[in-house]
Structure 1
Amino acid sequence: MPDIEFETVSQRIRALFESLTRAERQLANRMLENYPVSSMGSITTVAEEAGVSAPTVARMARKLGFSGFPDLQAALRRELEAAISDPITKHDHWASDADTTHILYRFTESVLDNLRNSLKQIDIEAFDRTVSLLSDRRHALHIVGGRITRSLADYFFTHMQVIRPDVTLVASNSNSWPHYLLNMQEGDVLVVFDIRRYEHNIVRLAEVAQSRGVSVVLITDQWGSPASKHSTVTFNLRIEVPSAWDSSVVPMTLVESLIAAVQADCWEETKARMKTLEDLFDHTKLFRKFL
């Protein structure tokens, strides 16, 4: 297993899954099924619900790097608290830090640390698979974001709309989502942005889209949106910084990397679209020309 600092219990489970026994895999699947709630009961309850023995649960906790089941549950509680934190709680968490370094340097170092650790955890095969999905012009592409992440969705949409046809930015008003779902066909791709304080409607959209045969690409944080249960590919990215707000730097880096990769994957078609677009810009005199 690569030397990676795992942020969540779920990441540890997935990394170790292939090395688990049959009973442990059964337990792992149950733990991930309604994560992290499914592991918050007593060791007896968790074992019964997974159909395994209590010693199996204890052994699993140790395999995941914890001293025992109580230690594992403590980690899950910390995850849950972090995932549902509001801006005031986030601010107070960082404000309690005695570090007197200037905020510019502290913030930048946090962002760089987020980027380094996120890159370690991104599966290159998953990235390449996503590029193939996004490049496939036989199927439409749909993009949606939440209250904060809709700006990322809009940025991604603007670039993908130039690169390829049949790209739709799903409106942030969930009342209109059934109309968008009506146009989603089997084989289409839905890119979903959802970070902590996860939005119920986005999770529901991903669920219904998946049921219609749509491939869901989820861009989320290190704790993981519940929408991951319905995703084909999930990217868990670091977002914590010394602020009341989470950082979008790492998600934006992934977005721009995907844009560059898809553009390179179908450059001739994209180049033709860009030339046509430039002609339209000239015709509408959108940009000022100095010569």
Structure 2
Amino acid sequence: MVRTREGGLSTGERRVARALLADYPTAGLETVRLLAERAGVSGPTVLRFVSRLGFESYPAFQRRLLDELGERERSPLQAYTSSHSGEPRDTGGADLPGTAARVLSEAVRTTLEGLPAFELGEAVRLLSEPEHRIVSWGGRFSRLQSHYLVLHLMQIRGRAVALPDTPVERADLLSEAGRKDVFVVFDFRRYEAWSLKAAEEVSRREAKVVLVTDRWLSPISAVADVVLPVHVDSVSAYDSQVPVTAVCEVLVAGVMDSLEGLAEGRMRRFEEASRTFGLL
């Protein structure tokens, strides 16, 4: 909500937005006075910022943050038990495909329509710079999406790699992190501590961080250069990765459009190498 409305904020209100996102959601759970001090603005500016977001009062804004905190930490088991209360699960029978079509298509639509234009453009720009090395990693399930993105980038621009699994290989790759690297991190609720630590460290080394996360925002958002929020509504107790895949495909399309002839040339070389080495 903050990121999509940031363009319409005053200078002071943007300072409040940056202070909130830099320590989200903790900063918003402080008093008006403390949040104002963080942002270097007055108390009334904080209240105007909250009003711009559509809240009638600061306590209403904080109640929303507290609700988000509960949702951020929800596990699949908690989601299952809270929605079924111990009763046998009714999957909807023959209507399950129809329910999935409605829920998943809405999640994809809401995600893509809600992507902040500047953030998406910046992500495409960073991924399109030929001199940039692209490194991607994800979590329990989202690692699949990180590999999916990398496999496409390998073909259309090269210099893209998924973070290896073994500690030695990871240390080897991360030890070289620097300003010509772009790290695309996928981090979703029940956010992983190692991922935050790694993102903080590569950011400290002046690498760029593109974060793909859920709408509750991974703690990595505090150090990310670009944040792409995803609606992960699902028909099961597990957050859906379908909208995440859609965001990956948008990024791939954006990079291909940006690179134009360079992408075509790379794809031709990739196809030729595949045939030459019998990899097709």
Give the TM bin, normalised by the shorter chain.
Answer: 0.7 to 0.9
Distance 1:25 1:152, change over 3 A: closer
- 1:227 aligned partner: 220
Letter in 1 for 2:75: D
- 2:5 aligned partner: 15
Percent of pairs identical after alignment?
A: 29
Per mean C-alpha deviation after superposition, the further-off stretch among 114-123 and 148-157 is 114-123
1:76 to 46, 65, 71: 65
Matches within 5 A, 1:169-208: 169-173=162-166, 176-208=169-201
- Do 2:232 and 2:241's aligned partners in 1 also have CA atoms closer than 8 Å? yes
1:255 to 245, 248, 259: 248
1:38 to 24, 27, 45: 27
- Do 2:22 and 2:221's aligned partners in 1 also have CA atoms closer than 8 Å? no
- 2:112 aligned partner: 119
Letter in 1 for 2:201: V
Per the TM alignment, residue 15 of structure 1 is displaced from its structure 2 partner at its CA by 1.3
Per the TM alignment, residue 279 of structure 1 is displaced from its structure 2 partner at its CA by 3.2
Per the TM alignment, residue 269 of structure 1 is displaced from its structure 2 partner at its CA by 3.2
Q: Does 1:243 align with 2:232?
A: no
- 1:167 aligned partner: 160
Higher relative contact order (CA 8 A, sep 6+): 2
Per mean C-alpha deviation after superposition, the further-off stretch among 89-98 and 236-245 is 89-98
2:123 to 108, 114, 130: 130
Distance 1:53 1:185, change over 3 A: closer
Report the Cα distance in structure 2 between the residues aligned to 1:169 and 1:232, rounded to whole angstroms.
19
Report the Cα distance in structure 1 between the residues aligned to 2:228 and 2:257, rounded to whole angstroms.
21
- Do 2:232 and 2:243's aligned partners in 1 also have CA atoms closer than 8 Å? yes
Report the Cα distance in structure 2 between the residues aligned to 1:44 and 1:265, rounded to whole angstroms.
45
User: SS of the counterpart of 2:140?
Assistant: coil
Distance 1:103 1:91, change over 3 A: farther
Report the Cα distance in structure 1 between the residues aligned to 2:21 and 2:272, rounded to whole angstroms.
51
Report the Cα distance in structure 2 between the residues aligned to 1:99 and 1:228, rounded to whole angstroms.
35
Report the Cα distance in structure 2 between the residues aligned to 1:56 and 1:25, rounded to whole angstroms.
10
Per the TM alignment, residue 20 of structure 1 is displaced from its structure 2 partner at its CA by 4.0
RMSD over aligned Cα atoms: 2.9
- 1:217 aligned partner: 210
Unaligned runs of 5+ residues in structure 2 are none
Letter in 2 for 1:215: K
Q: Deviations over 1:191-241 (max 9, x none)?
A: 111111111111111111111121111111111111111111110111121
Unaligned runs of 5+ residues in structure 1 are 1-5
Distance 1:274 1:64, change over 3 A: closer
- 1:91 aligned partner: 80
- 2:55 aligned partner: 66
- 1:143 aligned partner: 136
Report the Cα distance in structure 2 between the residues aligned to 1:207 and 1:282, rounded to whole angstroms.
41
Per mean C-alpha deviation after superposition, the further-off stretch among 246-255 and 66-75 is 66-75
Report the Cα distance in structure 2 between the residues aligned to 1:185 and 1:45, rounded to whole angstroms.
35
Per the TM alignment, residue 131 of structure 1 is displaced from its structure 2 partner at its CA by 1.8
User: SS of the counterpart of 1:216?
Assistant: strand
User: SS of the counterpart of 2:99?
Assistant: helix
With the length of structure 1 as denominator, give the TM-score of the two structures. Answer: 0.81
Q: Deviations over 1:173-200 (max 9, x none)?
A: 5675432222223132111111111111
- Do 2:132 and 2:181's aligned partners in 1 also have CA atoms closer than 8 Å? yes
Report the Cα distance in structure 2 between the residues aligned to 1:50 and 1:272, rounded to whole angstroms.
48
Distance 1:17 1:82, change over 3 A: same
With the length of structure 2 as denominator, give the TM-score of the two structures. Answer: 0.84
- Do 1:94 and 1:243's aligned partners in 2 also have CA atoms closer than 8 Å? no
- Do 1:107 and 1:241's aligned partners in 2 also have CA atoms closer than 8 Å? yes
User: SS of the counterpart of 2:175?
Assistant: helix
User: SS of the counterpart of 1:224?
Assistant: coil
Report the Cα distance in structure 2 between the residues aligned to 1:44 and 1:274, rounded to whole angstroms.
56
- 1:278 aligned partner: 271
Report the Cα distance in structure 2 between the residues aligned to 1:250 and 1:110, rounded to whole angstroms.
11
Letter in 2 for 1:189: V
